[in-house]
Structure formats: C-alpha cells, structure tokens
Structure 1
C-alpha cells in the first residue's frame, strides 16, 4: 500500500537546486540581455540629439538608466557626451507584382566626447536593415502597416544595441 505521507526532503531539495542555479549563473557573470555597465569615470552621461533622433535618444537614455547608468540632463557635469544626429529612415520596394517585397533601413550618426571635449569616436554611422514581403491578394494594408511598424521598432532596438556596445567599448 503506497504511503500517503510526503517526505519533507523533496521541497527543500527543489529550493536548494534553485538557489544553486542562481548562484552558478551569478558567479559566471551572467547578466540579463540589455544590461549595460559603464564605469564611474564615464558617468554621468549626457545625450544630445537632433531632429528625428530625439525618440531614439530618449529610449536609449531610459534603457541606460534602467541599467544603473547616471544620465545628466545638462552638459556641464557630464563626463561622457554622446551626440546623435542625421537619423534617416527609408523604404524601397525591391520586388513588384502580386508578392511585393520591401527593404527598410534606419541609419544614425553618433559621436562621443569626454568632459574636456576630446573626441572618443566621431561620426560613426550605425545602420539596421530589414526586408519584408506583402501579398497584395491575401494580406490587408493593415497587416502590412502593422508588420512595418514592428520591424521599425526592432530596427530601433538594433540601433540602440549598437550604440550601447559602442559606449561600452570606451572602457
């Protein structure tokens, strides 16, 4: 006859295994994707942007702040100054007919200076590309526009990833 009494060891074993996994992943340097570490000598960071780069700059600042990077609202106390400019987006149709194919591209130019105005990198062009297909017989315009917006958001995330990697390389 099976025993109805449950062993108290099994719940504790599960908790112990969970703690072990947490300990091992933290010990190996595991960080959540998108986590940005910037040394104290490059903080606070000031981000300036022109024209269409304003939304991208705001998203970048928000992500950096969530990672613990100090963002300055003024130029004076900053130790690192990031300038974003010449934000361009384009779309071109590469295949015509019943199955249409489009190519999207985003591009931004970035520069960084230290607190003395010394250039750390200048006018680096960062780009992201995507292609998508649209069947004019079966897909609605709403579907096409929704896909395009989703791809643009993904491309902006790519540009932000490229920017954060470039900033981290300054270490």
Structure 2
C-alpha cells in the first residue's frame, strides 16, 4: 500500500503530464471538430430561414462551436439567411431492362450574410453539391438507406461550406 506522500507525487506527476499534453495540443493548432474561426465582428449570428430543416440545424450546431447563435435578430451582429434549398435526383444510366443503375443527387442552397447595420457581406451566394451513387436492384432497402444517408451528408457538407465561406469574409474591407 502506498503511503500518502508517494500517492501525492504520483498524482502530481500525472497532472503535470496532462497539462503538458494539453499545451502541446493547442500549440500544434489542434481545434475541436466543427470549430471555425469567425471574424471578431461576427460573434453573434442569427440564422434566418426555415427553422426545422436539417441545414439550419447543422448551421446552428456548427456556429455554436465558434460564435453565439442568437434567437432574436436584434441581438445579432449579423444575419445569415437561407433563402432557398432544393434537392433533385437525376438518372444517369439505366440497364438493358430500363432499370435505373446510376443516379445523381443534387442539393442547392442560396444564402446571404448581412451585418446588423445593413451592410451586405455575402449577397445571394449559390452553393451546388452533387453526389453520384449506384442503384443495386438486389438491395432495395440498402438503396433507400443510401439515398437518405447521401441526402443528409449533402446538407452537412453544405453547412460546413457555408461556414468556411463566412470564415473567409473580410469584414474590415466591407465596413470601411
């Protein structure tokens, strides 16, 4: 059985190692997944648009890692507006019996970002994401699931691309 003094030094050594690991992770540029460095002028954002869509939920979640998502326009530094969302499926190829073999899923979004003072940072930006997938006629359940997974992934990817675009905005250049 360890005496109290030895136990204290073991705990102290573990705490020191933990602190050193934490410092080394932040020094190498490690960030939590989903965190974006937004300009200082964009720390309170209101997301306008259909509030119960996957895209708006993803945007709010991702923004929450880097800024404050406010529930009132009047509290915001900027307003991110989702103006239009559309999904479309297209057949790319069919087999000799006329069954769909390959499909394409398209997801498009139009959005804008305006400062609370009315200055437009991003005006009606269009984003189009496209994914192809193979339809396996022997796996109807898998095909249906794959389609739903691809649709969900497209919305997550769109949210990340929108935030990367916001991250790249030079607010000072627009404000002055």
Q: Same fold (TM over 0.5)?
A: yes
Q: Give the match's secondary structure for 1:163.
A: helix
Question: In structure 2, what is the Cα distance between the partners aligned to 1:75 and 1:17?
Answer: 45
Change in Cα spacing, 1:36 to 1:135, as seen in structure 2 (3 Å) is same
TM-aligned CA distance change 1:106 to 1:169, over 3 Å = same
Match of 1:156 in 2: 155
List gaps (5 residues or longer) in structure 1. Answer: 1-11
2:46 equivalent to 1:46:
yes
1:32: Cα distance to partner? 2.6
RMSD: 2.8
Q: CA deviation at 1:33?
A: 2.7
Match of 2:32 in 1: 32
Match in the other structure for 1:77: 75
Specify the alignment match of 2:165 in structure 1.
166
1:17-69 residue CA offsets vs partner (Å, 9 max, x unmatched): 77655432211221133112334421210110149x8331122112222x141
2:82–2:112 contact (8 Å) kept in structure 1 = yes
SS at match of 2:26: helix
The aligned counterpart of 1:93 is 91
Cα shift readout 1:2-29 (whole Å, capped 9, x = no counterpart): xxxxxxxxxx999877765543221122
**d(CA) in 1 for partners of 2:131, 2:14:** 44
Q: How many residues align?
A: 160
> Runs of 4 or more off by more than 3 Å in structure 1?
12-22
